[in-house]
């Protein structure tokens, strides 16, 4: 694990030499979710390809850049696009950015994703706050790590911070939107689920399904960063009335909800000042 530790140190030092202000809040912008970048007063932008040891974005609809600046008066760093297990990245690779953000000093991490809604109360475009999650990915980002990276046996009884959830609820309600909470389940992908799989996932207590977020949250909890996550419901996954859907439709629906979610995150960040 020494190569990972050395890579982390080099990446953090590279950024700190160029960005004088340490960020306090980290933000991960998921699939089709980019509008928040326009609300950030950006002082530094680093394409992932320019950052030493950073994975290179393999998904065309992710911007692939790290943004530093202020949002609502708070120093932030935002990931324009994340990395996914289905693209062939290892867990160590796709969670490497979270460890870098932790090393830069963030205290809170707000994550977003596009997700299928299995709870019949959810509709396309709804925002759903993650209250808990189920990890069905075939690997774990803490596997094989030594204790130098933190406690491998990380407690996950409350992976999503209650105070951040409350702030999100207030910000969503302030926009006149319905406030939903639910259990997010992360699967490998990249294919979407069958009717039988939706029934199975719903039977185990999941409300939303996606292909990201959980590894990042596990690592953030390991290194002591408070987390909150919001899913944009991009398709309604009723196995008895399932309609074909494609990635272009998912991105379109996410884009339509993008402005709403961006305002919510901006308000929450302002209250963390």
Answer yes or no: is pLDDT of 122 > 70.
yes
Rounded distance between C-alpha atoms, residue 51 and residue 120, angstroms = 42
Q: Which of 155, 153, 218, 144 is nearest to 184 (CA)?
A: 218
Mean pLDDT of 186-193: 96
Answer yes or no: is pLDDT of 197 > 80.
yes
Q: In 189-234, which ranges are continuous DSSP H helix? A: 195-203, 214-222
Domains in the chain: ranges and CATH: 2-271 (3.40.50.1580)
Answer yes or no: is pLDDT of 63 > 80.
no
User: What is residue 13's predicted lDDT score, i.e. its pLDDT?
Assistant: 97
Contact by Cβ (8 Å): 108, 26? yes
E strands, the chain, are 25-29, 41-47, 65-71, 74-80, 108-117, 127-135, 180-186, 208-210, 226-236
Note the pTM of the prediction, 2 decimals: 0.94
pLDDT digits (tens, 9 = 90+) for 213-265: 999 999 999 999 999 999 999 999 999 999 888 778 788 878 888 899 999 99
Contact by Cβ (8 Å): 158, 262? no
Secondary structure percentages of the chain, helix, strand, coil, to 5? 35, 25, 40
pLDDT digits (tens, 9 = 90+) for 1-25: 558 889 999 999 999 999 999 999 9
User: What is residue 4's predicted lDDT score, i.e. its pLDDT?
Assistant: 85
Answer yes or no: is pLDDT of 209 > 90.
yes
Return the CA Rg of the chain.
18
pLDDT digits (tens, 9 = 90+) for 136-175: 999 999 998 877 788 899 999 999 999 999 999 999 999 9
Tokens encoding 172: 């969503």
Q: Which of 25, 30, 27, 26 is nearest to 212 (CA)?
A: 30
Rounded distance between C-alpha atoms, residue 100 and residue 243, angstroms = 40
């Amino acid at each position: 694990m020494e190569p990972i530790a050395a890579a982390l140190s080099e990446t953090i030092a590279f950024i700190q030499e160029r960005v004088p202000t340490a960020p306090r809040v980290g933000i991960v912008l998921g699939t089709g979710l980019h509008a928040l970048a326009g609300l950030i007063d950006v002082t530094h932008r680093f394409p992932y390809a320019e950052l030493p040891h950073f994975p290179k974005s393999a998904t065309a609809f992710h911007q692939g850049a790290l943004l530093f600046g202020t949002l609502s008066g708070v120093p932030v760093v935002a990931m324009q696009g994340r990395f996914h297990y289905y693209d062939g990245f290892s867990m160590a690779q796709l969670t490497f950015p979270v460890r870098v953000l932790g090393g830069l000093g963030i205290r809170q991490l707000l994550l977003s994703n596009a997700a299928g809604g299995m709870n019949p109360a959810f509709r396309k475009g709804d925002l759903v706050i993650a209250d808990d999650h189920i990890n069905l990915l075939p690997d774990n980002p803490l596997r094989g790590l030594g204790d130098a990276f933190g406690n491998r046996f990380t407690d996950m009884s409350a992976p999503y911070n209650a105070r951040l959830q409350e702030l999100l609820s207030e910000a969503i309600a302030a926009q006149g939107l319905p406030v939903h909470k639910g259990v997010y389940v992360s699967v490998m992908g990249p294919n979407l689920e069958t009717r039988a799989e939706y029934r199975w996932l719903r039977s185990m207590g999941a409300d939303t399904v996606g292909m990201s977020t959980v590894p990042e949250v596990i690592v953030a909890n390991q290194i002591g960063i408070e987390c909150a996550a919001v899913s944009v419901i991009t398709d309604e996954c009723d196995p008895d009335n399932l309609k074909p859907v494609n990635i272009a439709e998912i991105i379109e629906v996410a884009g339509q909800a993008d402005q709403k979610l961006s305002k919510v995150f901006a308000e929450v960040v302002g209250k963390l000042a």
